Structure 1
Amino acid sequence: MSNPEVIDAHHHVWTADYPWLASKPEFEPIRRDYGVDDLRANLKEAGVDRTVLVEAGWGHPSETVEFLHLAGAVDEIAGVVGHIDLLDPHLTTTLSRYAGHPRARFLVGLRDQIQDRPDPDFLTGPEVVTALKAVAKAVPTFDLIVRVDQLPAAAKAAAAVPELTFVLDHLGKPQVREGDAGLKAWREAVAPLAKQPNATAKLSGLVTEADWQRWTPADLRPFVQAALELFGPDRLMFGSDWPVCELAATYTRVKEALTEVLGRTDPDVFGGTAARTYQLGEL
């Protein structure tokens, strides 16, 4: 009997000229080109079969177009979560551009950098809900990259657009470094979203919300356990958040830490949920 397929539901590739890499001095260690060769080396070492490539903050449809070409050329990349601006007056045109791409079959979701929007209630705006309904007609999922204070609005958006699957990136960025206080604030904020049947979440990005130099799997455990209680393993998926994770840990270390916290390589968390949610099909 073959081993279950392992899928990384969240990683990036980028070049050193992405503006956000120069926005803070602490990003300097990852301010370089990360390409397919780097990705493949990490996948081989960590024992990962396929991946979902997520927009990396360039903020323009051209990145998504490039990533769709890349997915068609790289067997390991099973799908792409592309960029969308929910307030873009030309959103319909952008969606049509994506749909007309010769490798549009690889577009499994879209994402707006909502974490950078100051309004905690951004996702409840009527124009945003209308945009999300348009997204639902184009792709199966919408990735939520949000702060903890934006989680209540995310729950309302999920309720307003039940035809769209909402994927919570990085568990909503809980403040792991704050310990019990961070856990309490996050759990209260994320619980309403977890109650929505069209919401799933990624066990990703946690090491960079912890102390980069001193984190241990024990620091992550309360957050992972709470996520299991709230979402269940069939609505959770492993994501490396590579190369961002390199600020705090190697790709392999991230996977090992999650395996240690879970006590095993759960077949849903490490593959099944991602395959179902992003409709990735068979290997």
Structure 2
Amino acid sequence: MIIDAHHHLWTADCPWLAAPGLESIRRDYTIADLVPRLDAAGVTATVLVEAGRCDAAETAEFLALAAATPRIAGVVGWASLTDPALPATLAGYQGLPGATKLVGIRDQVQAVADPGHLARPDVRAALATIGAAGLTFDLVVHLGQLPACAEAARATPGVTFVLDHLGKPRIDADGLAGWRAAVRDLAACDNVVAKLSGLLTEAGPGWRVADIRPYVDTALELFGPQRLMAGSDWPVCDLVASYAEAWTALDACLAELSPDERTAVLAGTATRTYALEVGS
């Protein structure tokens, strides 16, 4: 069994797609585009992650889609960590069709300039509210925010954090040491798991498996297979690699794991962390 723990769906008018260099993915991506790719790659089920609209209506749409699509086992929806109405937003999600597939929440922390954002009392309270609701919090952050993520994880032990894309390391000859130093404290927090996703995009055009393998190896060392999950980051990965190529590259990086370790990374960690009912 393989679970794609991180993919998106969107429409061409998604605001962030207007940025230069994104022309090739500036189109609608629907479930009809996804399913043939899942079948070809042997992927059993997926987790659909909010796509940067920062709009509760998107989460409602994704939950309805998940209710009608057994292959979507879970949805990571959007909510703002600084919205006083967060409890009401979460309660509203619980009343929607597909609510049982809401497994986590994400906010676009990577876009916040304030280095103290995750230390704000209202943000810490929001994180605790998300955890109390039985939901994970996905961390979409950049390298410089990793120390603040570790502080937040230690301060809110009742929350399960999921680090997207390994924190977006700089993948080049000098990037590994700096990323390792930044992510080490976060990996030491038992309430944090991480996604092996998005690495090909960070590596850029002309990527090689050898470029990302040291980062996967380091993640395996620091987090261990039981706290790592695999994700395609499709359709973002289409900037540099197809859906199939993303899985082939990751599979190559996991080739030396034992069968039990591979099972953990490819399905077990996602199933446990997000409490997925695969096939339901």
Q: What's 2:268 paired with?
A: 272
- What does residue 191 of structure 1 align with? 184
Which of 3, 23, 47 is the equivalent residue of 1:7? 3
Match of 2:155 in 1: 160
Residue 48 of structure 2 aligns to a residue whose secondary structure is strand
Give, as a single letter, the amino acid of the residue that structure 1 aligns with 2:180: R
Q: Is 1:254–2:249 an aligned residue pair? A: no
Report the Cα distance in structure 1 between the residues aligned to 2:134 and 2:149, rounded to whole angstroms. Answer: 18
Report the CA distance between 1:280 and its aligned residue.
0.3
Corresponding residue pairs, total: 275
Matches within 5 A, 1:198-209: 198-209=191-202
Give the corresponding residue for 1:120: 115
CA distance in 2, matches of 1:44, 1:95: 33
The CA deviation at 1:121 is 2.9
Among candidates 225, 248, 263, match of residue 255 of structure 2: 263
* Unaligned runs of at least 5 residues, structure 2: none
Give the unaligned 5+ runs of structure 1: none
- CA deviations over 1:128-150 (Å, ceiling 9, x no partner): 10110111122331000001110
Letter in 2 for 1:252: A
- Is residue 20 of structure 1 aligned with residue 16 of structure 2? yes
How do 1:60-71 and structure 2 match up within 5 A? Answer: 60-71=55-66
How far did residue 282 of structure 1 move? Answer: 4.3
In the superposition, the TM-score normalised over structure 2's length comes to 0.96
Deviation at 1:25, TM superposition (A): 1.7
Q: Return the offset for 1:92.
A: 1.7
2:226 and 2:248 map into 1 onto residues whose CA distance is 20
1:42 aligns with 2:37: yes
Aligned letter for 2:229?
M
Structure 1 residues 73-102: Cα deviation after superposition (integer angstroms, max 9, x where no partner): 011000000001000122122111112223
TM-score (norm 1): 0.95
Equivalent position SS for 2:91:
helix
Tell me the distance in 1 between the aligned counterparts of 2:79 and 2:56.
Answer: 7
CA RMSD of aligned residues (A): 1.1
The answer (yes or no) to whether the contact 1:99–1:138 under 8 Å persists in 2 is no
The answer to whether structure 1 residue 231 and structure 2 residue 226 are counterparts is: no
Letter of the structure 1 residue corresponding to residue 265 of structure 2: V
* Amino acid aligned to 1:70: L
Structure 1 residue 253: Cα displacement: 0.5
- Checking the alignment, whether the CA contact within 8 Å between 1:121 and 1:150 is kept in structure 2 is no
Question: Distance between the aligned counterparts of 2:116 and 2:188, measured in 1?
Answer: 19
Measured in 2, the distance between the counterparts of 1:47 and 1:121 equals 42
User: Kindly, what percent of the aligned residue pairs are identical?
Assistant: 55
In the alignment, is residue 142 of structure 1 matched against residue 152 of structure 2? no
Runs of 4+ in 1 over 4 A off after TM superposition: none
The answer to whether the 8 Å contact 1:16/1:33 transfers is yes
